[in-house]
Amino acid sequence: MADGRGTIRRRAGLRLWLAGGWLALLALAAILAPWIAPADPLAQDLLGGRLPPIWVRGADPQYLLGTDSLGRDVLSRILWGARIALIVAALAGTATALIGATLGLLAGFLRGWVDLLISRLIDIWMAFPPVLFSILLIAVTGPGLGPIILAIVVIDWTRFARVVRAEAMAQGAMDYVASARVAGRGRIGTMLREILPNVVPTIVVLLTLEMGISVIVEAILSFVNLSISTDQPTWGGMIAEGRTSIHQAWWVLVFPLIALFLTVLSFSQLGEGLKDRFDPVLR
């Protein structure tokens, strides 16, 4: 047994490092985009449209990863796109976590009619097709960073609420909570001082996973042309463009897709890795 656990922990450790490494690199690239991007991500070069990446014949060495149909530099657009991806991940993830976890905590700890109400709301939400719902919301609010974050919070708060509610219920049933109550602590005090610290690891794991989901949702919205305004480079927007010219210029789709893939994978592996770390059975 000891060996098996060692292997799992070593593997989890490697996974954490790889995922964290990619995300750190990405964050750095996003921050430094204005300085390290070789070209203006919006600058069009009508004579240099659909130039392949430099290792393919017919490339222009000025454009490392080639250009799209309007002659914009793919590498620069990916670097600038990382900014939006990460901003959305951080803001939308955190906002969703705050709202979802609060509702879940209230439902799971207070029980009674609060729980009834929130549980019913969760049921209703689970009956919505999430992608369609987010598209609908953006269509209503109009594109922009704020609306995207709002849409993500609105469609995804149940992820946190469901899990935190269940955890809070389980914790609430334990002896230490009863003894805290006996010791004269109020309901809200007990919730914040006794229950919350115990569900924080779960929230952190979910938050990490939610960041990956946010990146995807943003890409999906960009893909259907409903994200941030069109003059900002986003990975989803690049993918939408790449999809239409897939037979003429594969690189326009492939590079942002790789960036998106690695980022989403990293967030989820980070989350899973953290889950293993927090799980007392594996520790």
Partner 1 sequence: MRLIRQILLRMLTTAVTLIGVAVIVFVVIRVVPGNPIAMMLPPGATDEDVLRLTALYGLDKSLPQQFLIWAGGVLHGDFGTSITSRQPVLALVLDRLPATLELSIMALVIAVLIGGVVALTGTRSRDSGIEAAIDIGNGIALSIPDFLWGLILILLFGVLLPVFNISGRITPSLPLNFVTNFYLFESILRGRPDLWLDLISHMFLPSLALAIPLSAIIGQVLKQSLKETMHLDYVTLSRTKGYGENHVILREALPNAILPTLTLVGVQFTFLIGGTVIIERLFSYEGLGNLAIDAVINRDLPLIQGIVILFAVIFTAVNLVVDLLYAVLNPRLRHG
Note the residues at the interface with partner 1 (CB under 8 A): 4, 7, 120-121, 123-124, 126-133, 135-137, 139-140, 142, 212-213, 216, 219-220, 223-224, 239, 243, 246-247, 250, 253-254, 257, 260-261, 264-265, 267-269, 272
Q: What b/e sequence results for 206-231 when a residue is b if at least 16 CB atoms lie within 10 Å of its CB, and e otherwise?
A: bbbbbbbbbbbbbbbbbbeebbbeee
Q: Residue 202 or 222: which CB sits closer to partner 1?
A: 222
Q: Residue 85 or 219: which CB sits closer to partner 1?
A: 219
Q: Residue 65 or 220: which CB sits closer to partner 1?
A: 220
DSSP string, 97-139: HHHHHHHHHHHHHH-HHHHHHHHHHHHHHHTS-HHHHHHHHHH
Q: What is the dihedral of CA 231, 148, 226, 249, to 10 degrees?
A: 60
Output the furthest CA–CA distance in the chain (Å, rounded).
78
Residue 128: CB minimum distance to partner 1, A: 6
Q: Residue 172 or 256: which CB sits closer to partner 1?
A: 256
Q: Residue 178 or 246: which CB sits closer to partner 1?
A: 246
Residue 150: CB minimum distance to partner 1, A: 12
Residue 199: CB minimum distance to partner 1, A: 22
Question: Whole-angstrom Cα distance, residue 97 to residue 270?
Answer: 16
Q: What is the DSSP letter of 227?
A: S
Residue 247: CB minimum distance to partner 1, A: 7
Residue 243: CB minimum distance to partner 1, A: 7
Q: How many CA atoms lie within 13 A of 260 on its CB side?
A: 25
